[in-house]
Amino acid sequence: MYYIGIDLGGTNIAAGLVDESGKILYSDSLPTMKERRWSEIVKDMALLAERVVNESGHTLAEVKAVGIGCPGTIDKAHGVVVYSNNIVMHNVPVADEFRKYIDLPVFLENDANAAALGEYTTCGNGTDSFVFMTLGTGVGGGIILNGKVWSGFNGAGAEIGHQTLVFGGKPCTCGRRGCLEAYASVTALIEQTKDAMEKHPQSLMNQWAEEHQRVTGRTSFECAKNGDAAAIAVRDRYIEYVAEGICSIINVLQPEILAIGGGISREGDTLLEPINAYFAENDYNKHMKKTHIRIAKLFGDAGIVGAAKAAEAGLS
């Protein structure tokens, strides 16, 4: 039997047919066009789900359930998006609406939690505790404890980007100041890069930005590889912010595995090695086994696999 996993993003809706091992048999996507009425978006999710099943050579009769990873705060029991400000939704009964088109059990999960479940399936197997941290537009994540998503008594938890990093520091998107997200997101890295470019007009980063017609999260990492001092400083400081956030989360949760995802995680060992060194030096736990920090594996597919896993968990 199979599960349909749907990842509802601000730009695209992605859906896949996933087997019980977490393997995607077939997947496809279409644009979200998030300004539309939500019922239109749900209709497209159902159409896409059906298309994915057909194209895979399977039938809906072989599908046990549907999982949908949605941005925002989710009422899992009722399949409702309570609130999302990315795709604007307020008390939207996504599961009920979806079932108008496909008569299968439908389970909703927060998109970051779903991605965490997906990565847990692939690179956290067999552990009792796993934290997934994404470095993207924001800093998000998901917490798996005893093999299950922990998102608080109210479903609003696992906001690991909204731990304090600098008391009274830079304004954060959440309205507070000094959150980890305001320093360790790719958005923040781009800002840090631009600041350094302005201070160091001779830096390679300015040349890179001109060639690429933009500044991205890769700018400092790429120029640092070429020995540019200003770029090295930006990159190393950014990695320190990330590592400090990781230390805080590990001191509180001590998960067996912590996996780093998001675009920046494609930097691989350039990111991971200094984080591990920082962690070895700053971890509170000096006497017990240590959390294993690694780069996540699924990248864009984590949401689809995790949504399918949320469907599986919902049935059990």
Q: Does 247 bind a copy of itself (CB under 8 A)?
A: yes
Three-state SS at 14: strand
Residue matched to tokens 């909204």: 162
**244 close to 279: Cβ distance less than 8 angstroms:** no
| DSSP summary character for residue 173 | T
CB of 106 to a copy of itself, least distance (A): 21
Phi-psi group of 298: left, alpha or beta (phi > 0 → left; psi -120 to 50 → alpha; rest → beta): alpha
Nearer to a copy of itself, 127 or 270 (CB): 127
Residue with structure tokens 């009422």?
75
Q: Does 207 bind a copy of itself (CB under 8 A)?
A: no
The size of the interface with a copy of itself (CB under 8 A), counted in residues, is 52
Distance CA 153, CA 166 (A): 27
Rule CB under 8 A: is residue 37 a binding residue for a copy of itself?
no
Shortest spacing between CB 191 and a copy of itself, in angstroms: 16
State which of residues 26, 64, 83, 225 lies at the interface with a copy of itself (CB under 8 A): 83
Stretch that binds a copy of itself, among 39-47, 150-158, 193-201, 214-222 (CB under 8 A): 150-158
List the beta bridge partners of residue 106. Answer: 66
Spatial CA neighbour of 162 closest among 178, 145, 150, 151 = 178
Tell me, rounded to whole angstroms, the distance of Cα 302 from its chain centroid. Answer: 8
Q: To 5 degrees, how large is the angle CA 48–CA 118–CA 216?
A: 85
Other CB atoms within 10 Å distance of the CB of residue 176: 14
Q: Determine contact, residues 310/69, Cβ cutoff 8 Å.
A: yes
Question: Which of 134, 151, 193, 220 is in the footprint of a copy of itself by CB under 8 A?
Answer: 151
Closest CA to 63 of 76, 49, 77: 49
| Residue 56 or 248 with smaller CB distance to a copy of itself | 248
Q: Which one of the spans 22-30, 168-176, 195-203, 305-313 is the region binding a copy of itself (CB under 8 A)?
A: 168-176
x/- site string to a copy of itself, residues 111 to 130, per CB under 8 A? ----------------xxx-
Give the residue with the Cβ less far from a copy of itself, 60 or 156. Answer: 156
DSSP letter (8 states) at residue 35: T
Among 124, 138, 245, 314, binds a copy of itself (CB under 8 A): 245
Regarding 226 and contact with a copy of itself (CB under 8 A), the answer is no
Nearer to a copy of itself, 46 or 144 (CB): 144
Nearer residue to a copy of itself within complex by CB, 118 or 138: 138
In order, the DSSP letters of 202-251 are: TSHHHHHHHHHTS--THHHHHHHHTT-HHHHHHHHHHHHHHHHHHHHHHH
* Stretch touching a copy of itself by CB under 8 A, among 52-60, 104-112, 242-250, 301-309: 242-250
Choosing from 33, 145, 277, 315, the residue that interacts with a copy of itself (CB under 8 A) is 145
Asked if 249 interacts with a copy of itself (CB under 8 A), we say yes
Q: CA 222, CA 220: separation in Å to the nearest integer?
A: 6
Interface contacts to a copy of itself, rule CB under 8 A: 73, 82-83, 127-129, 143, 145-146, 150-160, 162-167, 169, 174-176, 183, 241, 244-245, 247-249, 251-256, 282, 284-291
